[in-house]
Each structure stands twice: as C-alpha cells, then as structure tokens.
C-alpha cells in the first residue's frame, strides 16, 4: 500500500480507505490509484457479475 500511495501521490490512509472500499475515498483518489497501477503494468477488466479483475501484462 505504501508503494501504491507513493506512485499515485496519495497518502497511505487514502490507499487504505480505497482498499477497504470506504465510501469516504474520493473518485480522484481512485482514479490516481488506477493510473499508477496501469503505469506499472496492471490491467483492469470487468467480470460478467460487474466485479473488477486485475491482471498483469
């Protein structure tokens, strides 16, 4: 979580809220985290039930 926080320019507590699916985490924070993950080769896809699956290129 610390590495993601640094890569996304977020605080550790914000990344923890995102991981805990805390509704107080902002959309901007979620987008920053997703951008950072994509930059490091993580791809996102949606499953038939609407959940998000993560993979690595």
Q: Give residue 37's pLDDT.
A: 93
Q: pLDDT-based confidence at 53, cuts 50/70/90?
A: confident
This prediction's pTM: 0.79
Question: Is residue 54 scored above 90 in pLDDT?
Answer: no
**pLDDT, tens digit, 9 for 90 and up, residues 8-49:** 999 999 999 999 988 888 889 999 999 999 999 998 888 888
Angle at which helices 12-19 and 27-39 cross, to 10°: 90
| Contact present, 15 and 6 (Cβ < 8 Å) | no
């Amino acid at each position: 979580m610390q590495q993601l926080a640094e890569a996304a320019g977020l605080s550790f507590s914000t990344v923890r809220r995102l991981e805990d699916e805390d509704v107080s985490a902002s959309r901007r924070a979620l987008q920053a985290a997703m951008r950072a993950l994509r930059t490091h080769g993580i791809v996102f896809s949606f499953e038939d039930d609407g959940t998000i699956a993560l993979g690595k290129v």
